[in-house]
Structures are given as structure tokens and as C-alpha cells.
Structure 1
Amino acid sequence: MAKITFVYPHKTKPVTVTGPHCALNCAHCGGHYLKSMLPVEKIPNLQEVKSLLISGGCTKDGKVPWLKHAEFLADQKGNLKYNFHVGLIDDDREIDLLAQIADTVSFDFVVNDETIAKVYHLNKTGKDYLNTYRKLQAKVPVLPHITIGLLGGEIKGEFEAIKALQEFNPPAIVFIIFRPTPDTEFSDRRPPEIANVVEVFEYTRKLFPKTPLYLGCMRPGGKYREEVDLKALELGFARIVQPHPEVVKKARELGYEIEEAGECCVL
């Protein structure tokens, strides 16, 4: 019997180590999503939470400065699980410290130089991302995240990134999909064409026939989400976050064994 997990991550709380501040002002985000995250200092006030997504804005080098909070985060961990966004870190000692408290790292996997420059405004290359991934993978569980249409809805480097992942044999691959966000550089752009999204999915399934594929929380809603989610179901995705109701209905009709999970899809 086919299985699928539908994820409703209400038991994972996103936390920012930089408040609403980010030095990059990325074209797709502009610090918008930091505003809804809990400041790291508020962790002791949390109740009925099982895990934290520890994130934040980046420095001008593309690194999330979590390290200054390392001791506090270690003290607060208890039974909590930690999923980190760390960006481009390459210091071995920092990665060693990370490995002591992180349950997993979610890593934005980008290898296209034009995308890195135009979206993140970084003077970095795909090699920097590959090197960081290698170093992280050696010490801590890491899940690659690929944003389809990251370059303002344009497909640019996604196939290249998927091909590059073959070196690492990741435990799973997480897809998210660009959606325009108000008051950002890309606010007037459109999500990628669904046909192009499906092409990326199919290419990944061909290269990684046995690797679990996840459809993450960040993607457009409405009819777009319904069509994309149905395709993910058809292609045997293992997890779909915040699924469209029609997809849940379809999975039931097809006799899927359905599980529900309440934490971040990578935990």
C-alpha cells in the first residue's frame, strides 16, 4: 500500500536569532518572513512546542549568526528538537558546536552563480554552497532545500543543483516554490509555470528513484497548490506540508496509508 505523510507543523516554532534584521535584503524575502518569527530570547516562554526552526537574517557573507546564542540554545534544548538554518558557514569549530545541539540542518541548496548574485546579493558562487554542504554533511544531518523558480519565478540552475546533489546522496530532498512576496524586489513576479515545476519533480525522481521527496511549506496557494500537490502525490512524494484539501481527499480515495505529523517536515 502506498504511504504519504501530511505535515501540519503547529508543534514547531520558527525562531530568529537576529530579530527582524538581515544584511542581505534578498530579492524574494526582504526580511519579510523574519517579522513573524519569535525572537530567540522568548524561547523560555514557549509551551506545547516540540521543536524549533532556528533561523534569522544573514550577515553580508550569507551566514546566519547563531553562534553568539549557542550557549543559550544548548541550555534551553531539553527535549526540544532543533532544525537550523545556518547559511554559508565554513568554520570547522562552529560546525562542531552546531553538531552538538542541532538535530538537523535545512540548507538552501543553490549552485547557479547568477541566482546567488541576483537573489541573495552575495559575492559568492555555487562552489561556496557546495563546500558548505560538504562540511556540514560530515558532522550533522543536513537536508537540502531547492526553491523552484527562486530567480523571480524563472527556472535557472534547478536541474544543475539536482544533478550536483548526486555527490551527496541526501537522506531526502525538500522542494519549495517561489511565490511573490509584497514589498520585495520580486513582488511583481509570478510563480514558475506548473509545467516547469513538474519537469523539475520528474527529473529529480529519475535521478533519485528511491530518495524520499518532500514538498515544503513555502509555495503558492489556491488552485496552483492543488495542481502541484496532486502531481507530488502522483510522483510518490513522501511528505507534503500543509496539503491542499483536494489532495488529502484524493489520497483517501486512492487508498493511501496516510500519516499526519505535527512538526517541521525534516524532523
Structure 2
Amino acid sequence: MIPARTPEDLARLADELVADGARGMLLSGGSDHRNVVHYEPYFPTVRRIKDQYPHLQIAMHTGLATPEFARGMEDAGVDVAMMDVIGSQDTITQVYHLKRSVDDFEASLEALVSTKMKVVPHIVLGLHYGKLLGEWNALEIVRRHVPDALVLVVIMPHYAPSSRPFATPETREIGKFFIDAREALPDTPVLLGCARPSGMHRMVTDTYAVMAGLNGVAFPSDGMLALAKHLDRDVRVTPSCCSMVVGEEVLALTSGESGSVVLDYVPSAPKRRMSIRDIPVVVAN
């Protein structure tokens, strides 16, 4: 990511990005010990950027947000708000080391969806050192507040320090969660984000995502487009962050101005040693 350590830096960066043809911008940053990202000094600059470049889609990855903070984002012209929803108090305390509660995360999501922004919460699978612990409670929180879309990502253990290693979540359990998420949010776009383990784990995870009926997969593995076409699904490719795709694609398919490419023809999946029989079947309970 490109640093913008002052509002002035952000304004200059926006000018450069737009001049280079950028269609969107994702703002992120470090949080404090209360899991709050202090964007307030940047809000006036974000407003000026949005007024100057109304076509530029602005997404903001926020930590916990109060109603006042959410309205500040909205007033600044933020198009898409993102936050992680954590459903386990043990994970908040032991992994994030925060003195916050599950209720604080739900209240933050409630504050965001009360605005006119598109809200795209994320659930990180395996967040408790590789174990799925509070993910189903997080899904229930999301279901109660009906955001514009939900993005699922999977913990990537190789980023963990050796002193606190993370296990790699089982793909079978991930597949079960995909099915549960699809059933819990039948009318809400559910997408698989870019963060997930690599290699064969990624291929199996992506296969489960397509088979479960998720609406999108960021950087799909080889063969996933062919699989989707085999299942008679429309396949579109959009050069955008998955959360921004929600604003451009999933929620505005009829606009005709999203910049996506509709694939009428997808070549067959490349031959690999693994066959579909090697992937365990996930059955919903």
C-alpha cells in the first residue's frame, strides 16, 4: 500500500492516481489499542477529493466505529465502508488483545449500515490461531444487520510470528462455512476475498466457494472460471478490490458502466494431477 502520512500527502496521491487512470481508492491504516483508526484529520481532504473527482470510488477500512464516526465517513464522501466482524470474546481478548466486546463489533456494524454508504463487513475464517471459533456468531451478527455484501477471507498462517504460530484451517470446515454463509444470506452478495492460503489449499477453497454459490472470488485459482461456466453461471472479470466490486458490479449490474468484462468463452481447466475426486465433498447439515 502507498503511504499517505498527512492529509496533504493524501490529496497529492489522489491527484496522481486519478491522472494515472485510477477508478477507486482504498483507505486503510493502523488502529489504536481500542481498535479505532483515527481518520478524522483526513475527513476534510477525503471530502475535497470526492468533490473534485466524483467518479472516484472511495473505500475505507475502518476499525470500530461510533455513530458519529460513521456519519463523519458518510459526510466525507466515502462510498464503501469495510470492517472485520469478530464473534468470539476469546478471540478479541487473546488474539487481538483488546478490551472490547463482541457487542462493540455489532454496534459498529449497526452504526455503519445506518448510513447511506455501502457497507461490506469481512469475516476472517480461522482468526483464533487457525481455529474457527466465533465465525458463526459473526455470521449471525452480519445477518441481523443486512449489509450490502459480505466478504470472507481465510487466515494466512505464514504471516504469524514463530512465537505465536497459527494453524492452517481445514478446507472442509471452510467449505461448510461457505454453505452456511450462502444459506444465511440468500439475497446478499457473498464473496471470497484475496486473503487465503496458497497452493493446493487455495485451489480447494476456491472450488468450495464456487460450488457453494458465492458471488465472486478474488484472484481465482486455475480452473475456477471453467468450473463456474460449467455450472451455467455468468462469469465477469473486474479489475477492482472485491469490496469495491460490490458497488460497481453486484449491486449495479444494469448500469453498463462498471468496466467489467463478460466472458462468453472460458477455456477448459488445465490438466493437473489432482482430479475433482480428490476434493472431499462438503454436505450441509
TM-score, normalization by structure 1 = 0.80
Give the AA of the match of 2:39: W
Q: Which whole-Å deviations, capped at 9, do the CAs of 1:166-197 have from their partners, x for residues lacking one?
A: 21122221100001244636763232100111
| Root mean square deviation, CA, Å | 2.1
C-alpha distance in 2 between matches for 1:84 and 1:216 = 16
1:71 corresponding residue in structure 2 = 44
Percent identical: 24
1:10 corresponding residue in structure 2 = none
Contact map agreement 1:17 1:57 (CA 8 A) in 2? no
**For the structure 1 residues 183 and 250, does the alpha-carbon distance in structure 2 shift closer, same or farther, using more than 3 Å as the test?**
closer
C-alpha distance in 1 between matches for 2:124 and 2:74 = 25
C-alpha distance in 2 between matches for 1:44 and 1:65 = 23
1:132 maps to 2:108:
yes
Aligned counterpart in structure 1 of residue 71 of structure 2, from 96, 104, 121: 96
Give the AA of the match of 1:218: A
Aligned counterpart in structure 1 of residue 14 of structure 2, from 20, 25, 43: 43
C-alpha distance in 2 between matches for 1:232 and 1:186 = 32
C-alpha distance in 2 between matches for 1:84 and 1:186 = 31
The structure, 1 or 2, with the larger RCO (C-alpha pairs under 8 Å, 6+ apart) is 1
Aligned length: 234
3-state SS, counterpart of residue 205 of structure 2: helix
Q: Which protein has the bigger strand share? A: 1
2:216 corresponding residue in structure 1 = 239
Taking the TM superposition and a 5 Å limit, the aligned residue runs for 1:1-267 are 14=1, 40=10, 42-46=13-17, 47-77=20-50, 78=53, 79-92=55-68, 94-100=69-75, 101-139=77-115, 140-182=117-159, 184=161, 188-267=165-244
TM-score, normalization by structure 2 = 0.76
Contact map agreement 1:16 1:57 (CA 8 A) in 2? no
C-alpha distance in 1 between matches for 2:215 and 2:47 = 31
Gap regions ≥5 residues in structure 1: 1-13, 20-38
Residue 156 of structure 1 and its aligned partner are, at CA, apart by 0.8
